[in-house]
Structure 1
Amino acid sequence: MGIITYYNFEDSEVFIFDDFIINQVKEAVVIEPHHNDIFNEVVQKHFSGKNMVYISNRVKSYSVNPLIYPEAEKIPNLIAIAIIPKTALMRRNAEYEQEFFDKPYEIFDSLSEAIVWVHSIMPNSKTSD
């Protein structure tokens, strides 16, 4: 389950794994609906014809326009979102954003908890020996 690809985009760092993406947005960025275009390109390049989960590891302070979620829902192979907020304020923001996404959306205290959840919901998920 090692990392497959790493991207250092202008607004975020993206780590591609077999069944999921971990995204770490950079400080003071405002995530807007146009960011879905980049996200969709990455998903189609690495997960064409295969389900995947998006993990947002929120280690920096940034803003999210919740209107990104209805657009993200249109990505057919995106089956769920996991959020790992660093602070109580980030957790409250993630809870608010959850109202805009109608697929599975969970908030976790650690990245390892989120990854365990991903493997529990992925169809045909493999476990490592």
Structure 2
Amino acid sequence: MTTRLDLEIGILEFYDHFVIGLVNPDVNFGQKERLLFLKACLEHFKEKPFGYISVRTFSYSIDPLIYLELNKVESLKAFAVVYYSKVGKGNAELEGQFYKKLFGIFETQSEAMKWMTQQIKPD
């Protein structure tokens, strides 16, 4: 990890080519929250391609329509979800239907990090 950013709704941990997002419990993750996380990611990575790993340690709600906007972010090349329950896996599968780029669903953070490293290759 290179940088950790604590925000009011969660934590972003930045690595060379991807970021891990951990949203706080009981957050309603909608467009406002998406913009907060996305702004931090774009400021960190500048124009460099990156991936996002959502680690779903805590229960929170997410608006799957945010993916329609994330599809438009050119530098965001891949998205992964790490789930810890059957419901979490089902939610991730639903979300994946809205995201039109590379989308992975994993049982462990290490699997997601390995996959993301393969997807986001340095120039």
**Normalised TM-score (structure 1):** 0.90
Check the 8 A contact 2:17/2:122 in 1, yes or no: no
Partner of 1:114: 112
Choose which of 101, 107, 118 in structure 2 pairs with 1:103: 101
For residues 122 and 46 of structure 2, the distance between their equivalents in structure 1, rounded to whole angstroms, comes to 16
Q: What SS does structure 1 have at the residue aligned with 2:22? A: strand
For residues 7 and 59 of structure 2, the distance between their equivalents in structure 1, rounded to whole angstroms, comes to 17
CA deviation after TM superposition for structure 1 residue 49, in Å: 1.7
Check the 8 A contact 1:79/1:103 in 2, yes or no: yes
For residues 92 and 113 of structure 1, the distance between their equivalents in structure 2, rounded to whole angstroms, comes to 18
Check the 8 A contact 1:15/1:23 in 2, yes or no: yes
Partner of 2:30: 32
Check the 8 A contact 1:36/1:71 in 2, yes or no: no
Check the 8 A contact 2:17/2:121 in 1, yes or no: no
Instruction: Output the amino acid matched with 2:38.
Output: N
Instruction: Output the amino acid matched with 2:19.
Output: I
Choose which of 38, 51, 54 in structure 2 pairs with 1:53: 51
Partner of 2:60: 62
Runs of 4+ with >3 A deviation: none
- Alignment gaps of 5+ in structure 1: none
The one-character-per-residue Cα deviations of 1:61-81 (angstroms, maximum 9, x if unpaired) are 001001110111111110010
Which 10-residue stretch deviates more, 37-46 or 20-29?
A: 37-46
RMSD: 1.2
Choose which of 81, 84, 92 in structure 2 pairs with 1:86: 84
Choose which of 73, 76, 79 in structure 1 pairs with 2:74: 76
CA deviation after TM superposition for structure 1 residue 123, in Å: 2.4
- Larger Cα-atom Rg: 1
For residues 108 and 19 of structure 2, the distance between their equivalents in structure 1, rounded to whole angstroms, comes to 15
CA deviation after TM superposition for structure 1 residue 36, in Å: 2.3
- Alignment gaps of 5+ in structure 2: none
